[in-house]
Amino acid sequence: MDNKSATPAEADPTVIEATTHLEEVGREQKDDLEKHKKDMDEKKISDVMEILQGLSDRLKTIEEKMDCRRQEMEEKMDLLI
């Protein structure tokens, strides 16, 4: 059984125009989604960098306190000797 039509069929120009517009909209949505994903990745990276900077600052503070306490202990040891 052959499903081919005996007369050639052509799409109406308005149908072609409408489907072309749908393809463009789909392409734009895909581009927007990719841009959003890229923005989110950059935001995650900047958030991680901010957290690391905060941890680094906290570590420096702890090191300063430890150095101060070590120096105080050395001074006390010198007084005992």
Buried b (16+ CB within 10 A) or exposed e, 10-49: eeeeeeeeeeeeeeeeeeeeeeeeeeeeeeeeeeeeeeee
> Is 80 inside a domain boundary?
yes
pLDDT band of 58, cuts 50, 70, 90: very high
CA distance 29 to 79: 75
Does residue 66 carry a pLDDT above 80?
A: yes
Residue 71 is assigned to a structural domain of this protein: yes
Domain count, the chain: 1
The whole-number pLDDT of residue 9 equals: 57
pLDDT tens digits, 23-39: 665 566 677 778 877 87
Other Cβ atoms less than 10 A from the Cβ of 75: the count is 9
Alpha carbons 20 and 30: distance in angstroms, whole number: 15
Q: Read off the pLDDT of each residue in 44-50 and give the average, rounded to a whole number.
A: 88
Task: Print the domain residue range for 72.
Answer: 14-81
